[in-house]
Amino acid sequence: MKKVLLIGNPTEHSLSPVFQQAALNHLNLSWQYQTMTVEPSDLEYIVDSMREGDIAGANVTIPYKAKVIPFLDELAPSAEKIGAVNTIQIIEQGSQIKLIGHNTDIHGIKSSITTQNVTTVSSTNSIIGTGGASLAAIFGLQSLGAARVHLIGRNITKVEEVIKHGWDIEIIPHDLTSIRRSQFVDLLAKSSTIVQATSVGMSGGPAPNQSPIPEAILKAALEKSNLKQLLFDLVYSPPHTAFLGAGLTTKTARINGLEMLLRQGAAAFEIWTTKAAPIELMRASLKEAAI
């Protein structure tokens, strides 16, 4: 039986096995989706083991989305652009096996935003965070025609490093630790989409039940704005975060990271199997799991 791996550290919290295994079973593929918590010293060995023929594909999660790249043979444009891989495609070429890195987080973010009635073309947006998820969010918004992004992080050096990637969109850097309250409220009020791309608020994370944006500031911005806004928290556990809780207004749409997880996972499924992902079945499997 072939396996599809999820490699990261930790992996026990992941919901990917729930819907990926349901999809594999639905298409009568005798593959098993398995999580694998990998220590840094073992990463190269685990990736090399994918060349042995019994692995059909893999997902990569934190903290290895960038660290896995040196052990792959090739990067798809999505992964090359932002320097992060979350999906590994395994291709047999004669007697050799080739490992190609993809980033389906971009698709997951982009397709999640398009399910909401929010303006993206020529829009101004805000993203909190400087990790791989924030880069995927920038790329997704760029591909949807956004004009600019306010990029806000606790480490201004990391914010500026993200900007150096070179984007076809204006990136305006901000230091979360020193930005003035009035400026913060104004830029958030002008943002069509506000993406929370950090681990803050995640169950079991370093700052559970918290938000990177003070509640008073976010509420003031939402009340001031005359836009139909979207609050998008990439955290999905818990489903109702402190960040999203500040958006309880009639004109503000709110989504968590569950839809993004589902859609990036469906894109990965199609890369591994070359078959259309049964996305509604995958969504239903998460609901059945009471998530």
pLDDT in tens, 218-265: 999 999 999 999 999 999 888 889 999 986 766 789 999 999 999 999
Residue from 154, 97, 105 nearest 260 by CA: 105
The mean predicted confidence, pLDDT, of the chain is 93
Looking at the domain 106-255, which fold is it? Rossmann fold (3.40.50)
The Cα-based distances of 35 to 105, 188, 253, 265 in angstroms read: 18, 38, 33, 14
pLDDT in tens, 16-26: 999 999 999 99
Distance CA 93, CA 235 (A): 38
pLDDT in tens, 255-276: 999 999 999 999 999 999 999 9
Run of H or E residues at 274 = none
pLDDT number for residue 291: 58
So where are the chain's domains? 2-103+260-288, 106-255
pLDDT number for residue 224: 95
Q: Is the pLDDT of residue 290 over 80?
A: no
Q: Is there a shared CATH topology between the 2-103+260-288 domain and the 106-255 domain? A: yes
pTM for the complete prediction? 0.90
For the ranges 48-62, 81-95, 119-133, 248-262, the lowest mean pLDDT is seen at 248-262
- Architecture in CATH for domain 2-103+260-288: 3-Layer(aba) Sandwich (3.40)
Query: Does the active-site annotation cover 65?
Result: yes
Residue from 245, 25, 108 nearest 17 by CA: 25
Structure letter (DSSP) for residue 31: E
The Cα-based distances of 54 to 1, 49, 51, 90, 257 in angstroms read: 7, 9, 8, 10, 31
Q: What percent of the chain has pLDDT over 90?
A: 81
Catalytic option among 2, 65, 158, 219: 65
* Residue 150 Rama label (left phi>0; alpha psi -120 to 50; beta): beta
On the question of a cis peptide bond just before residue 239, with omega within 30 degrees of 0, the verdict is no
